[in-house]
Structure 1
Amino acid sequence: MQATRKAVQCISPAGLHTMSYKEWGDADNPKVLVCVHGVTRVADDFDALASAMCDEYRVVCPDVVGRGQSGRLRNPMFYQVPQYVSDMVTLLARLDATHVDWFGTSMGGLIGMGLASLADNPIRKLILNDVGPALNLTALARIGEYIGQDVRFQTYEEAVTYIRLISASFGPHTDAQWDKLAHDVLRQNPEGQWIRHYDLALAEPFKLTTPEQATLAQAMLWAAYDAIRCPTLLVRGELSDLISAESAHEMTQRGPRATRVEISGVGHVPTFVQPEQIAIARQFLLSKD
């Protein structure tokens, strides 16, 4: 089954923008699964998962604003979780979805946490893919550093090699899988060079975050996590440098008391293109609680 591309108009304090999304499965299916990608990734990351789940769900995979086929924000300082949560509320209104299940990879998980912490929220089940309220600041600095680099490549092969290098923590993949993971986040500029498919201004909020602000943000994330009431699954890459084993354990003891699964040989983040990883999500989402 092929996905359909659609778009919804959203608003920030700086004006209007569009959010593109892919939709799989029966558009009239009341069971909706929303899958949201990481900070520099796109909706296409979930093609394998969506294809496997669209027999049960209407699967919706947005390009978060600033990425992929979505618009760009006029003020880059709004490239932060509160704006993304607002956009997702607009998306859910467009979908006319009363309840949804949520799969969030890294940043997508933080957006899911923010939404799931709100009173009267629509999230029935929540999967957090290698992310939680306690984040390794060194890992965040690593991510923030490469986000804003204006790298350009003369050939597609050079660009794929670069994506494979910076994404090595994703774990083992076939050459075909790596090619898709790279192709999904690359495009050619008017000069024919290969560049990454997002707004480089995403890096601005990272650059301006002080240690004091980061500490405050983490306290707010824990408060949000503690407010979550839905069944929650935490998937952690065994070698992750973003969320520690200690933090993952703490997430099983407080808030929604997440069920924890670790994927061996993988760091940040599991891609959920492998059948055994897809099976983890499918079992949790379709289990009767």
Structure 2
Amino acid sequence: MSPESPFTAPLAERGAEYRTVDLDGEVHYLDFGGDGTPFVLVHGLGGHSLNYMLIGPLLRDAGYHVYAPDLGGFGLTRAADRSPTVRSNAKLVRQFIETVVGAPALVAGNSMGGLICAMVASAHPDLVRGVVLLNPAMPAPRRHPGRQISSLRTLFTPAAVGMYSRARKRPITPEAEVDNAMRICFADYGSRDNDMFDVHVDMAKARRQFPDAMQALGIAARSMFQETISHGAVLGRYRAIRVPVLLIHGVQDRLVPVEAARWAKRANPRWMYEEWEATGHVPMIEHPDRTAKTIVGWVDSHIRPAA
């Protein structure tokens, strides 16, 4: 049975399927199909392409061709084939746009994925038409050093829940692993989508068959810390983006404090910024309809049609 098998039926119901491509190693990705401007959705630390299972069809139906890759060391893309560091995964996204998409794309990233999208957009503006940042990874403002340290530490918590429990040989089920992570990321856990939960459990089960999964997560976490510890470096990376940017941040985010997003907006006044109440770290999962509607409206008003 292929690693994609548990996901075939639930994805088919949404008009999506897993595909693979060789980008200096095998990369798995979701193709939601669609016509029009390509849109690449990038997940965060400990996440995977299925984080976009709810919003992907909404963007496709709004007129985009939607893709969501599993980054190196995450989802079904093995760390043996791709390094799990932030910079290596920024290279993966660049190669993905060049090879699979084949045209300049809109990109959206959550948490670490937001930082990766910023890296690609700032270094390769010819490949990116616009950037959507969904609770992106960034330090808190300098005037809140305690929050900065806290945000860097807790950013790794959802991904580490299952890793450390298994490493210490505590009996934790895939269901409990996903439940723990989602409780940290959601503002209102009672609003979770049950189909989304079940698919994430299937992914947790699949990844337990990968002996390199824990090591990859540790490497990615250390890389993430190195990329976000310097306030100036993060600011410079975001300021270097020359295409339009939409920043959405949940007020109840326990991982990246909303003060960080407010600081980023002040430092980048050209950005469009929306701050959402009753929203945690993953707005595209908590509020897929609102997130899709906001993105589509922003693209319509800020991104010029392709020539």
The match for 2:145 is none
Q: For residue 19 of structure 1, give the secondary structure of its aligned residue in structure 2.
A: strand
| Matched residue SS, 1:125 | strand
Q: Percent identity?
A: 18
Query: Which of 43, 49, 57 is equivalent to 1:37?
Result: 43
Q: Structure 1: how far apart are the matches of 2:210 and 2:186?
A: 18
- Do the aligned partners of 1:185 and 1:196 also contact (CA within 8 Å) in 2? no
1:226 aligns with 2:239: yes
1:267 is paired with a residue whose SS is coil
1:64-103 maps to which residues of 2 (within 5 A)? 64-73=71-80, 78-103=83-108
Question: 1: CA distance between counterparts of 2:297 and 2:210?
Answer: 34
Q: Offset of 1:58 from its aligned partner?
A: 0.8
Question: What 5-or-longer segments of structure 2 have no aligned partner?
Answer: 1-13, 141-147
**If the length of structure 1 is used for normalisation, what is the TM-score?**
0.80
1:35 Cα offset (Å): 0.4
Tell me which residue corresponds to 1:179: 197
Which structure: greater helix fraction?
A: 2
CA contact (8 A) 1:170 1:271 kept: no
Query: Which position in structure 2 is the counterpart of 1:121?
Result: 126
- Measure, in 2, the Cα distance between the counterparts of 1:37 and 1:23: 14
Partner Cα separation in structure 2 for residue 3 and residue 210 of structure 1: 30
SS in 1 for 2:156: helix
> What is the aligned partner in structure 2 of residue 48 from structure 1?
54
**TM, length-normalised to structure 2:** 0.76
Following the alignment from structure 2 to structure 1, what is the Cα–Cα distance between the partners of residues 215 and 152?
Answer: 16
Measure, in 2, the Cα distance between the counterparts of 1:210 and 1:115.
Answer: 16
Q: In structure 2, which of residues 106, 112, 119 is the aligned counterpart of residue 107 of structure 1?
A: 112
1:272 equivalent in structure 2: 285
In structure 1, the residue matched to 2:179 is 164
Q: Which consecutive unaligned segments of at least 5 residues does structure 1 have?
A: 12-16
The 3 A distance-change label for structure 1 pair 153 and 6 is farther
Residues matched between the structures, number? 273
The residue that corresponds to 1:202 in the other structure is: 216
- Residue deviations 1:152-203 (CA, integer Å, cap 9, x gap): 7878xx43234222321323324615633632532158xxxx7899811134
The separation in 2 between residues aligned to 1:207 and 1:65, in whole angstroms, is 13
Q: How large is the RMSD of aligned CA atoms in angstroms? A: 3.2
Distance 2:277 2:198 in 1: 22
Could you tell me how far 1:40 is from its partner in structure 2?
A: 0.9
> Quick check: 1:25–1:58 contact (8 Å CA) kept in 2?
yes
Q: 1:213: how far off? A: 7.6
Q: Read off the aligned partner of 1:248 and give its amino acid letter.
A: A
Q: State whether residues 67 and 197 of structure 1, in contact with CA within 8 Å, keep that contact through their aligned partners in structure 2.
A: no
Match of 1:141 among 138, 153, 167: 153
Q: What is the CA deviation profile of residues 12-53 of structure 1, one whole-angstrom value per residue up to 9, with x for unaligned ones?
A: xxxxx2111111224xx4510000111111111212211111
Matching residue's letter, 1:84 = N
Aligned 8 A contact 2:109 2:116 in 1:
yes
Higher mean C-alpha deviation, range 260-269 or range 133-142: 133-142
Q: 1:95 to 1:210 in 2, by over 3 A?
A: closer
Give 1:130 shift.
Answer: 0.5
Correspondence for 1:22: 30
Query: Residues 210 and 229 from structure 1, CA distance in 2 versus in 1: closer, same or farther, beyond 3 angstroms?
Result: closer
Question: Superposed, which structure 2 residues align to 1:249-260 within 5 Å?
Answer: 249-255=262-268, 257-260=270-273
Which of 229, 251, 255 pairs up with 1:238? 251
Is the Cα contact below 8 Å between 1:186 and 1:197 reproduced in 2?
A: no
